[in-house]
Chains A and B, each alone.
Chain A
């Protein structure tokens, strides 16, 4: 956008959109240099929610880190659990049963749905469309009810374990989930009917915050923000894991890379996630959820009290914990925001030597100050919502 040329002598003003701000979703800070309403230059700052996940992981055992991973991206906490356990399982080379994989896929896709619901809902509140927030949160409560019946918690679950899951799903899980997914699709249909052709919404979001394909790749974007800029890349199709190559679903791609595209890509991803969940539920067969590998799974109580091997195995696992071999691994999954990577270095002891989390929104927030240059303040607000910066993940 071109700043309007004036004959008058003007000075720019510095405005602080500080860590406590209605539209700053979480503790983010951006200082803007303004010429009227137009942003001439911007500088962002983060670190207001730095909770030292990486330092804590050096002082905790592998199982104790699982609750810490929940709080990384707290909107879709199960994906962090799954990502972390997948990394440790790959380091240990431990097999995981089919039922466990399918339940993890269902939980991940449910988490992706609720993450997108919050992202789009709060973004619409910032633009001014408040009703959609209520519609989305009603559906989110229904999804919470199911997840609470399975895991016991509403927001932070610690549901996965290394080599399996904490507990199996309840018998009517498939039927309840399918009923809730109908409501999810209805809510998405209602909201998209309300906003996608609404003139105010279109004027506020089309051609706002445009990110071209080359810029997105150069800035390290992944996930819906990358796909909205036209790059057809999704880890579930490019490097499939957990049976994603056997499910029938599509990856939504948009062309412009503006705010409108990022919102529409998220709507479409919710629909595709419901498809995946339906297929996964149909494929679910009775079976064990733990691999039974003695390096990671506690033996059943009959064996612990019945045989000496079971007792010794139980004792070793409780006293010494899980002992991966010396080495390192980088494991990535397609989280709601993009590629969530865990780089784990193990020195053979029961605590990891170093864990580095590659948060998907870190490069995205780094680019925020460049995206909003030349835009107006109101556009900066609209853009921030679609980038879906979750500060727990950003600052770790």
Chain B
């Protein structure tokens, strides 16, 4: 049974769509159940997804829900890729953090917070990563102009 069918069977209300796109499996998941789905994908014996390769945010300005978080998972033992997408409305931009499942996701979530303002619940250290602490705004959102500059910051301690 393919992983898409397994997921549809196990989480019938959480999986909003599961299809193939250019040869890759793509699943759209409901935000409330994303942590259980990720946990199942990591720990299932049929096709365990041991590695999280990437996490990013996308801003669909003009659409509702406006934001999307995209996970790219990889199974080393079965050589399989999976893309999970979760839609988030602008009014409630929170999603559970996956840091207890894969340590790798720690800085990816920080970057998504820095660039889009997506808040990850349960993240141990949700601070800005690429921009400086006093930066205002979220640069990769579509309504942030590319050449809007802000005052130069000062150095600070991080430990």
List chain A positions with a Cβ less than 8 A from chain B. 14, 16, 29, 31-33, 41-43, 45-47, 50, 52, 54-56, 58-59, 90-91, 217-220, 222, 231, 233, 238-239, 327-330, 332, 339, 341, 343, 345, 354, 356, 358, 362-363, 366-367, 395
Contact = CB atoms under 8 A, between A and B. Distances in A.
A269 to B, nearest CB: 19
Given A31-B157, A33-B159, A220-B52, A50 B58 contact: no
Interface string B95-107: 0000000111111
B16 interface: no
Interface in B58-95: 58-59, 70, 72, 76, 79, 81, 83
B22 A327 contact: yes
A31 B158 contact: yes
Interface stretch (B3-11, B27-35, B128-136): B128-136
A331 to B, nearest CB: 9
B138 to A, nearest CB: 11
Nearest to A91: B22
A59 B146 contact: yes
10 contacts: A14-B157, A16-B157, A50-B131, A218-B102, A218-B103, A220-B53, A222-B53, A341-B53, A341-B54, A362-B107
Contacts of A362: 107-108
B159 A330 contact: no
B76 A219 contact: no
A345 B85 CA distance: 13
A31 B107 CA distance: 17
B13 interface: no
A219 to B, nearest CB: 5
B143 interface: no
A52 B54 contact: no
Contact of B130 (A43, A46, A327, A339): A46
Given A218-B102, A327-B21, 20 more contacts: A14-B157, A16-B157, A45-B158, A47-B132, A50-B131, A55-B140, A55-B146, A90-B22, A91-B22, A217-B76, A219-B104, A220-B51, A220-B53, A239-B79, A330-B54, A339-B53, A362-B108, A363-B108, A366-B106, A367-B103
Given A220-B52, A238-B79, A46 B22 contact: no
Contacts of B47: none
Contact of B131 (A43, A47, A332, A356): A47
A54 B116 CA distance: 13
Contact of A52 (B51, B56, B129, B139): B139
A358 B22 CA distance: 19
Contacts of A231: 76
Given A43-B159, A328-B21, A343 B56 contact: yes
A52 B24 contact: no
Nearest to B24: A330
A363 B107 contact: yes
Contacts of A233: 76
